[in-house]
Chains A and B, each alone.
Chain A
């Protein structure tokens, strides 16, 4: 497939950029006026669930060899991403975007103390805890990498509606891995709250997250 940068394409891109600017301005204005969740109309960046879904027990190991289970999701907002370290394109692109998201949230008034970013490896065959740790902390020192067996991966992926497929081939370190590229947002009550779709725009994600967090703050227990 070849993309020809035509006049039509330029006009389309201009329209997209204008729409993004307008929706940003609208989002801010609507928030200032209403302060309600209703401002989150469905958009391309984030899908917010009307009724957040409580997650059930699971157990992984984080890159510091601590148990990473359901209680570790409580009291914090968690951005979850499924991937693997042998991934040259989508995973580093997403982690770099999430590092910018965290940086932006950290600069906000509320800060990033109540936010964690978790990379879940779908390739336990090649990804050890140490390797995952080296990988994620390169993007941001606070990022967590977790590994788990296939049953646990299937468990959490199933709860989030994520999919993955690892086509392990004996005798080679090279095999294809497919995974859902979305970023999942779990709220401080360990409920699946929202999902972000690629391609990731760090500015758009952090802005929406900050508004959502402010709206949910009074409800948090």
Chain B
């Protein structure tokens, strides 16, 4: 079997595209919100409930937004009695399971907002999943 055969590659690509189309309906985001920033502060966090409605595991691998310079997936962790954050390069979502992004847990770390964000505003953040799915999500700014 020649794994790099063009026909085989095309077949794999088609399968990935099909899977991505299925994922589009299969991953839902609820209660998406971003904390309003105090004046002069260029750092905040985004929260949500991610739900994988598919029967296959999914993985959140990146996030980006035109409203922020950088968006990174972080998790608040305890270390030797202290609390800090660590970068999570990839988060697995089990089939038919929910994952909570909440204060003190997983969050999207949002740096250098490109406009002033006030409670009631909306920002769009793109969530990227393994396999190429790009899910645009509207987050409500809350105080």
Query: What is A's interface to B at a CB cutoff of 8 Å?
Result: 2-5, 85-90, 92-93, 96, 131, 134-135, 138-139, 163-165, 176-181, 198-199
Contacts and interface: CB of A to CB of B under 8 A. Distances in A.
Contact of A88 (B82, B91, B98, B110): B110
Contact of B109 (A88, A164, A177, A199): A88
A83 to B, nearest CB: 9
Contacts of B79: 178
Given A2-B97, A3-B98, A85-B41, A92 B35 contact: yes
A178 B35 contact: no
B68 to A, nearest CB: 11
Contacts, number: 89
A88 B94 contact: no
Contacts of A2: 91-94, 97, 99
A164 B103 contact: no
B6 interface: no
A163 B82 contact: yes
Nearest to A176: B84
Contacts of A87: 43
Nearest to A181: B83
Which interface residue of B41, B45, B94 has the most chain A CB atoms within 10 A?
A: B41
A133 to B, nearest CB: 10
A204 to B, nearest CB: 16
B33 to A, nearest CB: 13
Contacts of A89: 45, 74, 76, 85, 103-104, 107, 109
A180 B84 CA distance: 9
B3 to A, nearest CB: 32
Given A89-B104, A176-B86, A179-B84, 9 more contacts: A3-B98, A88-B74, A88-B107, A88-B109, A89-B109, A90-B103, A138-B38, A177-B84, A179-B82
B83 A180 contact: yes
B104 A88 contact: no
Contacts of A165: 82, 84
A176 B85 CA distance: 7
Contact of A198 (B39, B92, B104, B107): B104
Contacts of B41: 85-86, 134-135, 138
Nearest to B94: A2
Nearest to A122: B82
A3 B84 contact: no
A138 B39 contact: yes
